Chains A and B, each alone.
Chain A
């Protein structure tokens, strides 16, 4: 009984790696595993460097003392929460437009990590707000729009979980994800558009950053570490999703049996 489905695209076309080859869940599965290991390793290295800068190199802040060091976790988490949402909506939209299964699986894999990042941004923000503003929470534009971002992630996950047919769930989730994108620029520009308790951006593309160089470097290295971690976690999750959805296919069955024997 040899009914292996032939993989449509060739791995290499005229010497170059053919990216369409990896658009099939079956071929992406092992690649995602190798990539995830690399991203985790880079995340650990960058995280160690970033934390060293954060706690041992960056100077004490003139106004906020040592309390400002929350920035090294807060800003990377907040950036990732917004960035991941855009990436999630992008893959959801690609899946909706071109009916590519793997794109929709990527969107589904990103959502929980994005939700965790939004939660961390809110949590570290509350712990920063209490000593500096005197309150854990305030309904200002920045905080409220970030909370809405968390609810968008949770809504996307709940909607997908509520629909049994995965392809229908993908389409419904994609519409929600795409509509919710409008919230991301609202979060980003909220500190300019409204009079918020939250401070303005410390880092901007158009002017020099309003912080010491070592603080900035620590923050950027930590942001990269968070990014690499999120890539690793997303790819690990997409592997699980691929197996969940393809579990009736021969390749997934044989792969799982091989894994079971090895384990």
Chain B
């Protein structure tokens, strides 16, 4: 193991803000995209399940 302690790992040699800032936003982007996909898929299923007559758009 190249890190001697958790603190050292989290400090990232003084680059913690930049390394973890990149990492956190990447994770957040993936989480947001997957959540948006879920919402969009549900809405599409709901719209397709609705009776055709009531569809004005």
Contact = CB atoms under 8 A, between A and B. Distances in A.
A239 B41 contact: yes
Given A59-B2, A240-B41, A255-B48, A69 B19 contact: yes
Given A65-B15, A69-B12, A244-B47, 8 more contacts: A56-B3, A66-B13, A237-B40, A240-B40, A241-B44, A243-B47, A247-B48, A248-B55
Interface string B27-57: 0011001100100110111111110100100
Interface residues of B, number: 33
Contacts of A119: 29
Does more than half of chain A's interface fall in helix, strand or loop, or is it mixed? helix
Contact of B37 (A73, A120, A128, A237): A237
A249 to B, nearest CB: 8
Interface of A: 55-57, 59-60, 65-67, 69-70, 73-74, 77, 112-113, 116, 119-120, 123-124, 127-128, 130-131, 229, 233, 236-237, 239-241, 243-244, 246-248, 252-253, 255-257, 259-260
Interface string B4-34: 0000010011110111011101100110011
Contact of B18 (A59, A131, A236): A131
B48 A67 contact: no
Given A67-B12, A247-B55, A128 B33 contact: no
Nearest to B15: A67
A67 B37 contact: no
Interface of B: 1-3, 9, 12-15, 17-19, 21-23, 25-26, 29-30, 33-34, 37, 40-41, 43-50, 52, 55
B23 A73 contact: yes
A246 B30 CA distance: 27
A247 B44 contact: yes
B29 A70 contact: no
A56 B1 contact: yes
A120 B26 CA distance: 7
Nearest to A253: B48
A66 B1 contact: no
B39 to A, nearest CB: 9
Contact of A240 (B1, B15, B37): B37
A246 B48 contact: yes
A80 to B, nearest CB: 12
Contacts of B47: 243-244, 247, 256
B16 to A, nearest CB: 9
Contacts of B18: 67, 70, 127-128, 130-131
Contacts of B9: 55
